[in-house]
Amino acid sequence: MKARLLFLACMACALPSVELVADPRFVEVEADKFRLQEPARSTAKHQYNADGYPIFAGTFTFSSHVFGHPQMRCDFLVPLKSPNGAPILAATDIVALFPWPGRQWLRSGDEGWHFARHHGFTVFTLNFLNHDQASPDDNLRYYIYPASGSADAWTAALTSVTAMVGAPPVQKIFVWGESAGGSAAQLFASISPGRVEGLIACSGRTFEIDSPYLGPTVILHTTRDRVEQNTALASAMEAQGALPISYAFAPNWMNWSEDYGWAHTVSEKAQRFGLAWLVSLADLRSQSGGALPPMARWDVVDGRRMPIKKACLPAWVELTQKPTIREDTAAGITTISMPSSGTGQRGTIIWIDNRFGIGPEALTAPVQVFSDQGFGVLTISGGSEEAAPGAVLRDRLRATRGLSGPYHLVCIRPRKLEPAFEFGNDAASITCVDPARDALPAQLSASLALQKKTLLCLGPQAEPQPQPDANLKIRKRKDDGNFYTWMKGVVTAVGDHIAQR
C-alpha cells in the first residue's frame, strides 16, 4: 500500500496543475488475440505474462494549442507489481498510440491494453474528440499535423508520463499508429526524431518523405491501400541509409464501406507482427545496456535486418496476386479475370454486371473474395443494350488461363433478353440479382426453368416467394440503400448457394 501511495504521489508531482484520476471507463475483459506464438527469452524484459499485470488506468487533462482542443485529455495504462504496488521495472518502456479520428485506443482487449497488461509497457494516448472541426487537408489545423499544435501536446503528455513512471527524461519511446494515426506517428517522429526509438505506421497515407527520423521503422499496409505513399516513404528512408521494414498484406475483402474499406484495413496478423517487432526492439535495447546497437549489426531475417528471430516472422508476409483488368472503351465493356488463389480449383464464377456506371474498383472485392475461396473468376460489366456479353464472355474464357469448370453464372440486374444466358446451358448454377425488382422477366424465368438449373434470385423484398419448380430457389434480400452492404450480402449468398448444391 505504501508503494502504491508513493507511486500516486510521484505522479501527482509530475502533473502539478491537473488532477490525476483513475478512469472507471476501463473495465477489463480478456480478449487476448495478439498473443505471440514464440515463447519469450528468459532474459526478456517484456516476455509474455499470461496472467497479466495489475493495471492502473488513469487520465489527466492539460491546456493545449491544438485547434478545437483547448483542453487535451491523456489516457494512460501503467502495469504494476501488485494491485496496490508500484510500477514494474519494464514500465519505464513507453508506447505512444496515435489514434485515427474517433479512436479510443485504451479500451480493454485492444492493442494498448495488451501492451500494458501482458507485456509490461506503459501506454498512453491523446483524445482528439473535435477532429472534425478541421479539414484533413488543413495542415495548420488538422490534428495529425505537428503544426496544428499536436506535436507540442504529445511532447507535454510524454514528459508527464515519463516522470510518473520514473523513466529517464531523455529516454526514447515507441510510437504506433493506424490509418490517420499512422500518418500522425510518422509526422511526430519527423519533428521529434530524438524522442522516438521505434516507429510502426499502419495504413497511413500522409508522410514527411524527407524525414530526419531514420531509426527502426515498420511500414504496414494492404496490397490495395495507399501503396504509392507507403512505398515512397520506404524508398526515401532507404535512400538515406535507413533500413525500414515494409510489408504489404491482403485486404479484408468482406469489410466493405462507402470508401472501399476492404482495402483500408489492418489485419490481426499484421498487428501481431508489429507487436513481436516492438517487444523484441524494446528487449534488444534493454539487453544492450539501454541503447540499441546499430541496425547493421542486427540479425538478417529473410533479407532484412530484424530485432526478432526467424520463428517470430509470420508466414502471411507475401503479396497477393492481382486480377487482370481489360477495358474496351469502344464497346464500353470492362472485364476482370483472376485464377484461383486458394488451394485447388473449385470451378469458375462468371459475374455479369449490368448496372450503369459500375467500375472495376467496385468489382475488385467480389473477384478477390471468390478467388481466395478457390474459384477462378471472370467479370464483365458495361456495354450497351445491343452488346452481346455472351460472345465477349466466351472470348475472355478462351483467352484466360486458369479458368475451368464447373461454371457458376451470376447476373446482376439481368436484362429482358439477356444474351449471356446462352451460356446458361453450360452453367452448373445460376444466380440472378436485381436490387430494383421482385421477380425476373417472365420470358427469362421460363427459359431458366426449362434449363432445370439451380437458381438463386436475390431481389429487394425480405420475404421469399414459393416457386412451383424445385430447381428454382428464390431468396429475396432487402435493399437497405447501402450498395456495399447489399453487395456483401450477394457475395455471401452466392457462396452459400454453390456450397449447398
Lay out the sheet containing 245-249: strands in order across.
Answer: 21-22, 55-66, 69-79, 122-127, 94-98, 173-178, 196-202, 217-222, 245-249
- DSSP annotation of 87 reads B
Q: What is the pLDDT of residue 16?
A: 40
d(CA 146, CA 130): 16
Alpha helices (runs of H) in 106-242, residue ranges in sequence order = 111-119, 150-164, 180-191, 227-239
Domains of the chain by residue range: 2-24+38-312, 324-499
Q: What is the pLDDT of residue 53?
A: 94
DSSP track, 222-236: ETTSSHHHHHHHHHH
**CA-based angle 90:91:94, to the nearest 5?**
110
On whether the CB atoms of residues 220 and 200 are closer than 8 A, the answer is: yes
- Same topology for domains 2-24+38-312 and 324-499, yes or no? yes
Alpha helices (runs of H) in 289-428, residue ranges in sequence order = 360-372, 389-399
The CATH T-level fold of domain 324-499 is Rossmann fold (3.40.50)
Phi and psi of 47, rounded to 5°? -60, 150
d(CA 429, CA 443): 19
Of 174, 73, 83, 71, nearest to 122 by C-alpha is: 174
What's the full length of the chain, in residues?
A: 501
On whether the CB atoms of residues 422 and 390 are closer than 8 A, the answer is: yes
Q: What is the pLDDT of residue 472?
A: 39
DSSP track, 404-426: -SSEEEEEES--TT-GGGGGGGG
When computed from its CA atoms, the radius of gyration of the chain, rounded to whole angstroms, is: 27
Half-sphere exposure of 72 (CA within 13 A, CB side): 23
Q: 150-164 and 180-191 are packed helices; what angle lies between their axes, rounded to 10 degrees?
A: 80
Lay out the sheet containing 333-338: strands in order across.
Answer: 324-328, 333-338, 376-382, 348-353, 407-412, 427-433, 454-458, 472-474
Amino acid at 2: K
d(CA 262, CA 283): 35
Which helix (H) or strand (E) segment holds residue 5: the answer is helix 2-14
d(CA 153, CA 142): 13
Cell numbers 429475396 correspond to 476
Residue 260 backbone zone (phi > 0: left; psi -120 to 50: alpha; other: beta): left
Q: Does domain 2-24+38-312 have CATH number 3.40.50.1820?
A: yes
pLDDT in tens, the chain (501 residues): 444 444 554 554 555 444 444 433 333 323 333 333 333 334 568 888 888 999 999 999 999 999 888 999 999 999 999 988 889 999 999 999 999 887 777 877 788 888 999 999 999 999 998 777 888 889 899 999 999 999 999 999 999 999 999 899 889 999 999 999 999 999 999 999 999 999 999 989 889 999 999 999 999 988 878 888 999 999 999 999 999 988 888 777 776 665 566 778 777 778 888 888 999 999 999 989 889 999 888 988 777 888 876 555 554 444 456 788 888 777 777 888 888 776 667 888 888 887 766 777 777 878 888 887 888 888 888 765 555 556 677 777 777 777 887 888 887 776 644 544 555 566 777 777 765 554 555 555 555 554 555 555 555 543 334 343 334 344 444 444 455 666 777 787 777 777 776
- Beta bridge partners, 95, equal 123, 174
Q: CB-based contacts of 259: which residues, under 8 Å, 6+ apart?
A: none
First to last CA, the chain: 66
On whether the CB atoms of residues 76 and 91 are closer than 8 A, the answer is: no
Q: 483-499 and 360-372 are packed helices; what angle lies between their axes, rounded to 10 degrees?
A: 30
Q: CB-based contacts of 391: which residues, under 8 Å, 6+ apart?
A: 419
Phi and psi of 332, rounded to 5°? 70, 30
